[in-house]
Amino acid sequence: MAANRPERAMNRLLEDLLKVMTLERLELDLFRGESRDIGSPQVFGGQVLGQALTAAAATVDGARRAHSLHAYFLRRGDFNAPIVYEVDRARDGNHFATRRVVAIQHGEQIFNLSASFQSAEDGFDHQSPMPSVPPPEALPNPEAQLRELLERLPAHQRRRLEQKRPFEFRFVEPMELPDPPKRPARRHVWFRAIDRLPDDEALHRSLLAYVSDYHLLDTAAMPHGVSFASDRILMASVDHAMWFHRPVRVDEWLLFATDSPSASGARGFARGQIFATDGRLVASACQEGLIRPIQP
């Protein structure tokens, strides 16, 4: 009999992300997660979003999948300290289950989330068409362009962009930093995990929540000629909502089509649709964030 082939080792960056998404269970509905420094001054919002959804899913019957979440970022997270997630089992119905999650650090709430889970059901089916954009294989890898951009950025912004990430991105519209020309508030970004992931739908939805915090709020800054890398603006997520429409794999190319219909009161609002390469609309996301101009 032939010997079993050893499994191929997963990329270390992605393996570490899975470790971050694997929470320690302290009690029946109490979990603890660790953080990673991605170069920003606080914990990455997508990390807290993904961990909170993971905690909520761990208290729900495995046959039910998250179909929506609504979250608020209350305080900056400290990536040097663990985050505790407390889950409240708000409701378990015949088809739906609802969970509330509070993230606590240094004795204070830094984040809260409500998530709804549903058993699989058949029903009506329609969706918006996928935008017509070049496929990811036809777009350049932004790594070379990024190296050129880094030379023009201040040290604190270079540190953030120099960090290697467990996802790769391909930009349909050009990435221009730190102060791009004013453009319409519309963007298309292809993304996928940099290695193959386990066949676990709950994991893929948690990771989709994680990566949905990339490049969403930036769309609201496009009409104003600034970006997250600009020293003329302060940007931070305030709230985040997602709806999961259909099964998804984040280790296959997905298109994030975003736009921003409004910015006012030092806040920007952005929304996005996430499509698989076969045209299926797999998820939608909305976010409002602080976009505060900094006076010279």
Which residue has 């952005």 as its token pair?
270
Q: How many CB atoms lie within 10 A of CB 109?
A: 13
DSSP letter, residue 149 = H
Which position among 237, 260, 273, 284 bears the catalytic label?
A: 237
CB contact set of 252 (below 8 Å; sequence gap of 6+): 192, 276, 277
Would you say 229 and 157 are in contact if contact means Cβ atoms under 8 Å apart? yes
DSSP 203-265: HHHHHHHHHTTSSSGGGGGGGGT--TT-TTEEEEEEEEEEEE-S---TTS-EEEEEEEEEEET
Q: In what order do the strands lie in the sheet with 281-293?
A: 24-27, 30-33, 83-92, 96-105, 108-119, 64-73, 233-244, 281-293, 267-276, 254-264, 186-193, 167-171
25 φ, ψ to 5°? Answer: -90, 115
Pull the structure tokens for residue 32: 């603890």
Element (H, E) at 49: helix 45-57
CA distances from 21 to 154, 288, 295 (A): 31, 24, 38
Decide if 287 is catalytic: yes
Catalytic residue, from 47, 105, 212, 213: name it.
Answer: 213
- As a whole number of angstroms, the distance between CA 180 and CA 261 comes to 19
Do strands 167-171 and 30-33 pair parallel, antiparallel, or not at all (unpaired)?
A: unpaired
230 is catalytic: no
Instruction: Give SS3 for 160.
Output: helix
Helix H or strand E encompassing 61: none
| 213 catalytic residue (yes or no) | yes
> Mind telling me the catalytic residues?
213, 237, 287
